Structure 1
Amino acid sequence: MNYQYRVYPSLEQELRMMSWLEMCRGVYNYALGERKDWIKSRKCDINACSLVSEYIIGAEAPYPDYYKQQNALTAIKAKLPHLKDVQSQVIQEPLRRVDAAFVAMKARGHGFPRFKKFGQYRSFLFPQFKESPLHGSKIKLPKLGEMPIVLHRPIPDGFEVKTVRVIRKHSGWYVTLCVQCDVTIPDVPPHGHAIGIDVGLSYFLSTSDGEQIARPRFTGKLHRQLELLQRCLKRKQKRSNTRAKLIQRIGKVYEQIAAGRLDWQFKLAHHLCDRAGMIFVEDLDFRIMAKGMLGKHTLDAGLGQFLNQVLPWVCFKRGVFYGKVDPNGTSQTCPDCGVRVKKDLSVRIHECHECGSLKPRDVASGQVICARGLSGVEIASGAEVSGVLETVSRQLAAKLEDSRSDLGKPALYARCPELVEG
């Protein structure tokens, strides 16, 4: 678990930490440039070199991976003595960042990692501690000494501090403590009442029980203030003190927006966990939605943050089963009879032409999500889940039995031919 606290370093400590960030940024950019130059030297055609310049590395030179760059760091410290001021493990962490960036590039198919500009490198990591760095209301870090810390919540008993990350934000300095306890926590079994959640922009979310939560406009409340500040920023001279102060003010506004969004999402997640023992959501990629014409509203709502980070964590703490289902066709399927009902985004009411079901589109989608989640749980467990809503398959079976027992209703088979086939 990660706990984040505010710290108040002295002026000397703050200047030293800022110099550490810049030195780590230099190591990061050098390691990244070394890898990019090696790759470019292998990609250049002999008969089509650049007209400006071409960096040539011998064919016998090995690829500068993490271990080679780490071994070369010792020799670099001898040539650049100011790097010795940074704690030895802290200065190695930028190399791990570069290595992780190249691993992610190959796994996701993205382009090359980018160089860090001045001020973009905002954190450094102390990867291990022999004993707890917390001493009362202060935290002691290697080569930095003690500094006051606001412990607004205590570290749980039995947990040890494994790593400490120092973060520089516009509002001040923070530390993120990674605490660990050697216990095994079993997975939450499916139990209790189940709900399906459909997220969107007209409503932030709609549940299978019929509850719909309006989407708050987090940026809208401070949009005018941001607009004025950014308009002033455009007229400021670059690299001036007034421009730097204005950037800090704008950063504080964005932090206020992010904090309000996160607080609201955590309260909503607890509200949902109070009403369910199982929660099912769609397995969506919100990066695609963020690139569309409604990308600004998608990012402001924080749908991906809620479904992929906040809600799973709250469900884990509250003992609520959390699962994801296939999102294909959830809004085009009738939750009562299973017939496919095509409709575009402008249609907000689900109206089935087969069974006559009439309900809000998002609520119907939430019920389909819930049914898919329950059917997946039953298939995985091999037994029915007690105390949950009926799945679509059981509803269809019940309708089939009722229709067979009543011979005076032949129209049902004409309206639902799939029941005859089943």
Structure 2
Amino acid sequence: MNQTYKETGKGLSGYAVKKIIPQLKKEYEWLTSTYSQCLQQVCLNLGVAFNNFFSARRCANEKRAKYPRFKSKHSKQSIQYPQNVKVVDSCLTLPKIGDVTAIIHRPIEGKVKTVTISKNCSNQYFAAILFDDCKDKPSSNPEGKAIGIDLGLTHFAVTSDGSKFDNPRILNKYEKNLKLKQQQLSRKQKGSNNRIKARNKVGFVHRKITNYRGDFLHKLSRRIVNENQVIVVENLNVKGMMQNHKLAKSIHQVGWGMFCTMLKYKAEMEGKIYQEVDRFFPSSKTCHVCLNQVGSLPLDIRFWTCDNCQTRHDRDINASINLRDEGLRILTSGTGDNKACCPDVSRSKGGRKKSTAALSVGQEAYTVPSGQCR
């Protein structure tokens, strides 16, 4: 595709590259050892990657994707099987490979569509199975218990019913071990077997951090979805908050975006409602009793008293209650307007689109497969 663009000034689509595969197989015999549909899927994925890059260049405000690059064999790798994969009790049957032993951790009830095999940096292999269960999406109903969630750093989440969930600070627990393993890796000679072993040890520590974080987020999101019908969080520019070098590390390790993504797809699967409130809504500075708004409220002030009704507020609990009330207002208005009521706050014209998939979450403080096997 690069060569064609240099010669003609025009690129090739993924479908055009797909038609060249038979000719390439004659030139490179090793291509014949791979299942043909996997090669076709790679071409289509490459076409999508280029489309994302050029659409990002046309839209200056939307930095959607960078120029596609060649993948390293040392990083995460994956391969897709569009069809002809069979799942049995304790193995997967893959074309041109055969039976592969696997731990099937949940039943596959439906027709298997696409299977994606991936390898992480610790040389572990996973299969994400997309299947059609032929079930209709449950209809959502706002009747039931509603909860607002204020995400933070001291407490990971504070709910409108007064519950506070501590921040596990996962990276801090493994930071010393990770630093030691990375120092050992830096001393190894490049290209040596010892460097490969040291790199696997670093990957093992990263995997433990990822598993720890995922376990915490899955359990908390499942608990919240099971206990509530309407879940309201705040849509924040997390990427912008990462520009603060004093809080960037803490925000990076806490996983707000992943948590909100889990809340959203789990709520949709259960027929419950996930609602986001605009990031400019002054949830912390507004008294939930009399709706009086203070002019300034620095982050170091965790408790404050309303000048109008003399109610003493816990900053985070007050914010979560205001988020819950604003989310219910948006749902009951019937207009579909997800903007918060705060006319005194100026908004920039070039803001990014609201999207939970882009890891936009509440203020202050991966496509989910239907089944997976390991």
Calculate the TM-score normalised by the size of structure 1.
Answer: 0.72
Candidates 67, 78, 83, aligned match of 1:128: 83
Aligned counterpart, 2:263 = 311
1:274 is displaced (CA, Å) by 4.0
CA contact (8 A) 2:15 2:44 kept: no
Q: 1: CA distance between counterparts of 2:137 and 2:178?
A: 44
Q: Is the aligned partner of 1:290 residue 2:245?
A: no
- Aligned-partner residue type, residue 50 of structure 2: F
Q: How many residues align?
A: 326
Candidates 17, 37, 52, aligned match of 1:104: 52
**For residues 262 and 58 of structure 1, do their structure 2 counterparts lie closer, same or farther at Cα, with a shift above 3 Å needed?**
closer
Q: 2: CA distance between counterparts of 1:380 and 1:92?
A: 45
Candidates 11, 15, 32, aligned match of 1:63: 11
Candidates 89, 111, 119, aligned match of 1:160: 111
1:119 is displaced (CA, Å) by 2.3
Gaps of 5+ in 2: 57-61, 342-374
Q: 2: CA distance between counterparts of 1:346 and 1:179?
A: 49
- Aligned-partner residue type, residue 228 of structure 1: L
Aligned counterpart, 1:417 = none
**For residues 165 and 285 of structure 1, do their structure 2 counterparts lie closer, same or farther at Cα, with a shift above 3 Å needed?**
same
Encode CA deviations 1:221-254: one digit per residue, 9 max, x unaligned: 2211111101111100111111111111111111
SS of equivalent to 2:118? strand
**For residues 257 and 75 of structure 1, do their structure 2 counterparts lie closer, same or farther at Cα, with a shift above 3 Å needed?**
same
Encode CA deviations 1:372-410: one digit per residue, 9 max, x unaligned: 11111111189xxxxxxxxx9xxxxxxxxxxxxxxxxxx
Q: 2: CA distance between counterparts of 1:295 and 1:141?
A: 43
SS of equivalent to 1:150? coil
Aligned counterpart, 1:264 = 216
Which protein is bigger by CA-based radius of gyration?
Answer: 1
- Aligned-partner residue type, residue 154 of structure 1: P
Encode CA deviations 1:71-91: one digit per residue, 9 max, x unaligned: 222222221121111111111
Aligned counterpart, 1:21 = none
Candidates 249, 271, 287, aligned match of 2:201: 249
Q: Is the aligned partner of 1:145 residue 2:98?
A: yes
Q: 2: CA distance between counterparts of 1:90 and 1:99?
A: 14
CA contact (8 A) 2:89 2:104 kept: no
Candidates 135, 140, 145, aligned match of 1:193: 145
CA contact (8 A) 1:191 1:321 kept: no
Candidates 165, 171, 179, aligned match of 1:213: 165
1:94 is displaced (CA, Å) by 2.3
Encode CA deviations 1:303-356: one digit per residue, 9 max, x unaligned: 11001x211233234443211111212222222222221212222223322222
Most deviating of 109-118 and 352-361:
109-118
CA contact (8 A) 1:206 1:213 kept: yes
Aligned counterpart, 2:302 = 348
1:134 is displaced (CA, Å) by 1.8
CA contact (8 A) 2:275 2:327 kept: yes
Residue identity (%):
29
Most deviating of 320-329 and 100-109:
100-109
SS of equivalent to 2:127? strand
- Aligned-partner residue type, residue 293 of structure 2: R
- Aligned-partner residue type, residue 166 of structure 1: I
Aligned counterpart, 2:348 = none
RMSD between aligned alpha carbons?
A: 2.2
Aligned counterpart, 2:353 = none
Gaps of 5+ in 1: 1-30, 39-55, 383-391, 393-422
- Aligned-partner residue type, residue 187 of structure 2: R
Structure possessing the higher relative contact order (Cα contacts under 8 Å, 6 or more residues apart): 2
Encode CA deviations 1:199-220: one digit per residue, 9 max, x unaligned: 0112111111121111011112
Q: 1: CA distance between counterparts of 2:156 and 2:148?
A: 14
1:195 is displaced (CA, Å) by 1.0
Aligned counterpart, 1:25 = none
Encode CA deviations 1:95-146: one digit per residue, 9 max, x unaligned: 22222223333243344233323323511000112xx612332211000011
